[in-house]
């Protein structure tokens, strides 16, 4: 059974019993309710041997999750593979690069983990309708989980949300509503909170202040990394970040295992954001911490999954960076597109721009000399390239059309191109990456 025992607000410090079923701090100050576990109880059943011998999947370390697996629809979440990047590593000039492929879930992103825990808690608490403020991976995962559980799902999305993403939500049966007015406040969050207050729906966005349970899902990635690497952790983990919830979850997982004595240390954690939306990176550079992180004024990036201008969990993300001796870095769209192409062409994994930002960050930090080629680095690939085809669509128009015949094919010069051996990346100044 779960060893969760209470919740503590990250802002006011108030402690609450789990039996209250709270989604937000009663003070309404948008502090995240962090779940506290009874580690003494967890140690009685959760050792390395137990972790290694249990069935693979999201609920393997059930003691460290806030609800029971029996509440969750069975969609086969978790247990994603660790892949040694044997072809990509020498190409970018690093000896030991490891990938955690989160594109394998039911909706092809790591948000499946978040929403599985979120839905399981919704079922435990007796809700019938879920509501979210998202137009991307979190909404897709929530709508899929809601469908599998027989719950209604309402998704408030920004007016400019991509049609491909809306189509996925509609396919899962979600009730989707576009909302105008993105600016000093998020209009989708405003509508989500209004519906909670008016109708009593279950809040489940992918940021902590409005649901303390879903942030526990991503930490299972940390649990799997520890076991899959034989308890020998990497030096660095670079984490694509929007609002900071993914980093908060990973950090929670490593802290849980460290508290239980299952690992001796925690890797250096790195926040990677797009330079077109980098509120957490800017706060890091300005020395701001806690809840004093300013929203980004005008998000503009090809990595639409990282485009949240409101750093809802930025306080936890920066605490994770500081405690582990990590750093924060922003990367531009060109470097993200390069990373997407390299990962697909050299390693056979097609990640969306948001999902490969960690690779762009790695190349930049290697160029800066902060990460050495001898360092052991892990990159979570957080979402499939099929989730966001925008960058690739531009190239489709350039595909040539010929009459059937080798002479026409030869005139394209592709036979000569295939005879060449691709060379490694030559590191340049970051502005050119």
pLDDT at 302: 92
Neighbours of 181 (CB within 10 A): 13
pLDDT at 68: 93
Q: Tell me the C-alpha distance between 99 and 205, whole Å.
A: 26
* 387-399 pLDDT per residue, tens: 888 777 778 888 8
Mean pLDDT (whole number) for 221-235: 98
- Spatial CA neighbour of 133 closest among 66, 65, 229, 211: 211
* Between 80 and 386, the higher pLDDT residue: 80
Give yes or no for residue 431 having a pLDDT over 50: no
Whether 82-108+218-391 shares its CATH topology with 111-213 is answered yes
Helix axes 314-324, 279-286, angle to 10 degrees: 50
Got the DSSP string for 255-282? HHHHHTTS-S--PEEEEEEETTB-HHHH
Q: Are strands 15-17 and 4-9 parallel, antiparallel or unpaired?
A: antiparallel
Q: Tell me the C-alpha distance between 32 and 216, whole Å.
A: 12
Mean pLDDT (whole number) for 37-62: 97
Q: Which sign does the torsion angle of CA 113, 119, 131, 183 carry?
A: negative
Neighbours of 50 (CB within 10 A): 13
Length of the chain in residues, anyone?
A: 433
pLDDT at 432: 39
* 148-176 pLDDT per residue, tens: 999 999 999 988 777 778 888 999 999 99
Radius of gyration of the chain (CA): 22
Mean pLDDT (whole number) for 216-244: 97
- 3-state secondary structure (DSSP) of residue 322: helix
Q: Are strands 33-37 and 4-9 parallel, antiparallel or unpaired?
A: antiparallel
Question: If 0-12 CB within 10 Å is exposed, 13-18 middle and 19+ buried, where does residue 370 land?
Answer: middle
Got the DSSP string for 170-232? HHTT-EEEEE---SSS-HHHHHHHHHHHHH--EE--SSGGG-TTGGGSTHHHHHHHHHHTTT-
111-213 folds as: Rossmann fold (3.40.50)
* CATH architecture of the domain covering 82-108+218-391: 3-Layer(aba) Sandwich (3.40)
Name the residue ranges covered by the structural domains of the chain: 82-108+218-391, 111-213
* 72-118 pLDDT per residue, tens: 999 999 999 999 999 999 999 999 999 999 999 999 999 999 999 99
Cα 268 from chain centroid (whole Å):
17
pTM exceeding 0.75? yes
Mean pLDDT (whole number) for 296-307: 91
Q: Tell me the C-alpha distance between 315 and 244, whole Å.
A: 8
Q: Tell me the C-alpha distance between 111 and 217, whole Å.
A: 8
pLDDT at 160: 76
Give yes or no for residue 369 having a pLDDT over 70: yes
């Amino acid at each position: 059974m779960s060893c969760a025992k209470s919740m503590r607000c990250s802002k006011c410090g108030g402690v609450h019993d789990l039996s209250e079923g709270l989604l937000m701090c009663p003070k309404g100050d948008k502090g995240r309710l962090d779940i506290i576990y009874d580690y003494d109880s967890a140690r009685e059943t959760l050792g390395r041997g137990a972790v290694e011998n249990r069935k693979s999947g999201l609920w393997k370390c059930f003691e460290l999750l806030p609800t029971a697996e029996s509440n969750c629809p069975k969609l086969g979440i978790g247990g994603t593979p660790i892949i040694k990047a044997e072809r990509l590593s020498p190409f970018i000039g690093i000896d030991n690069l490891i990938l955690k492929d989160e594109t394998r879930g039911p909706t092809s992103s790591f948000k499946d983990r978040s929403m599985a825990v979120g839905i399981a808690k919704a079922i435990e608490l007796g809700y019938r309708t879920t509501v979210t403020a998202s137009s991307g991976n979190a909404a897709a995962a929530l709508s899929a989980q809601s469908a599998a559980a027989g719950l209604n799902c309402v998704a408030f999305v920004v007016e400019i949300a991509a049609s491909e993403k809306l189509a996925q939500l509609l396919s899962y049966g979600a009730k989707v509503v576009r909302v105008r007015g993105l600016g000093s406040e998020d209009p989708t969050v405003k509508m989500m909170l209004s519906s909670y207050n008016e109708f009593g729906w279950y809040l489940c966005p992918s940021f902590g202040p409005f649901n303390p349970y879903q942030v526990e899902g991503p930490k299972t990635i940390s649990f799997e990394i520890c076991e899959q690497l034989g308890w020998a952790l990497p030096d660095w983990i670079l984490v694509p970040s929007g609002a900071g919830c993914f980093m908060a979850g990973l950090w929670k997982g490593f802290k849980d295992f460290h508290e239980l004595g299952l690992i001796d240390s925690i890797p250096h954690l790195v926040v990677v954001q797009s330079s077109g939306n980098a509120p957490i990176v800017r706060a890091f550079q300005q020395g701001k911490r806690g809840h004093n992180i300013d929203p980004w004024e005008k998000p503009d990036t090809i990595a639409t999954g990282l485009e949240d201008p409101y750093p809802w969990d930025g306080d936890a993300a920066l605490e994770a960076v500081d405690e582990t001796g990590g750093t924060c870095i922003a990367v531009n769209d060109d470097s993200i597109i390069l990373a997407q192409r390299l990962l697909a062409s050299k390693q056979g994994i097609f990640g969306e721009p948001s999902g490969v930002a960690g690779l762009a960050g790695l190349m930049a930090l290697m160029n800066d000399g902060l990460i050495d080629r001898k360092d052991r680095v892990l990159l979570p690939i957080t979402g499939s390239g099929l989730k966001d085809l925008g960058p690739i669509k531009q190239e489709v128009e350039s595909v040539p059309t010929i009459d059937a015949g080798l002479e026409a094919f030869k005139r394209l010069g592709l036979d000569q191109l295939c005879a060449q051996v691709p060379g490694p990346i030559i590191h340049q100044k970051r502005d050119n990456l």
